[in-house]
Structure 1
Amino acid sequence: MNRGNEGTEAPHAHPVEERLRTLFIRSLDGDSAAYHVFLQELAKHVRALLRKRLPNLRDDVEDILQEVLLAIHKGRHTYRRDEPLTAWVHAILRYKLADFLRARARHEALNDPLDDVPHLFGESGIEPAEVRRDLGKLLDLLPDRQRLPILHVKVEGRSVEETARATGLSEPAVKVGVHRGLKALALKIRGGKT
């Protein structure tokens, strides 16, 4: 079998691949109407794929879809015309889906119920001044990136956004600092009791 045309286009490319690839190449050559149609048609296919792969995360499908379309738009200059369009799109989709799942796992870890953490701020019958002193000593054991978020968010009741502005940390860093700091305090407290 002669494979002289290999790399330019598959001999029996799927009709959807052919249509999307044609529209995309026309758009790369300056046809904005073709690009608009390409994005609409691609969005239908990607949305269906995401709904199939993430049946329990329907609310997140549109967000992921927008991230994929934005990445395609920003990276359209990286597409090599001799490659199948679907392989290029799927690589972007896999990357964005992995980003989403990693971020979701981090978010879920940050929002784990803290039931397993001892009640650091509960009623104890100890005078408030003693509690503040003991809490201050515990917090002093933590690095600033954990101590400050706990102090601002959990002790003072500030929002994550306010804490980020006050400390110069990003909002995700504030959330991570609170989460990791509380876990570190719980370990120190448990370690102190044994």
Structure 2
Amino acid sequence: MRASEQQLRLWMIGGLEGDANAHAMLLRALVPLLQSFYRRRMSGRPDDIEDLVQETLMAVHVRRATYDRDRPFTGWLFAVARYKMIDHFRRSRIHCTVEDVADILVSEGFEDAVSARMDVDRLLADLPPKQADAIRGTHVDGNSIADHARRMGIGESDVKISVHRGLKALAARIKGPN
């Protein structure tokens, strides 16, 4: 499960205050976020993605004093990531169109999408694994019921029932007590 914005921010602040364990936890938690960020923008360049992740982790470590504790952490993180990508394009002399640069700078709501994904992961974490997996596979990842059933080695009706029960449980939790 991915860490929330709040948890990332707490680890960052802990690291700034000298907690080496919090700083290490932060850096570990950033790897999948950065991989996703770069994978979305660097299709067909897996080696570059891993290099960029490592460069960004180093920049987070070296430039951590520039983080404003009163601002969201992921906004600062993705700004660092965008600058690292632009530097990489310059060094590699990779040809970019105006649209590519605009996508990198604007980031197409990536930060909001990551935050929403963390919220969904947190909600699904409280469901039984089978229900959470069925919802994630069909509603979050966009697979058909047939594809998800085939991938999991279960029947389509089993997927439908799991999704239905999981969504019903989530709705009840969100609605709260009457």
Q: TM-score, normalised by structure 2?
A: 0.49
Q: More helix per residue: 1 or 2?
A: 2
Structure scoring higher RCO (CA < 8 A, sep ≥ 6) equals 2
Q: TM-score, normalised by structure 1?
A: 0.46
Larger radius of gyration, structure 1 or 2? 1
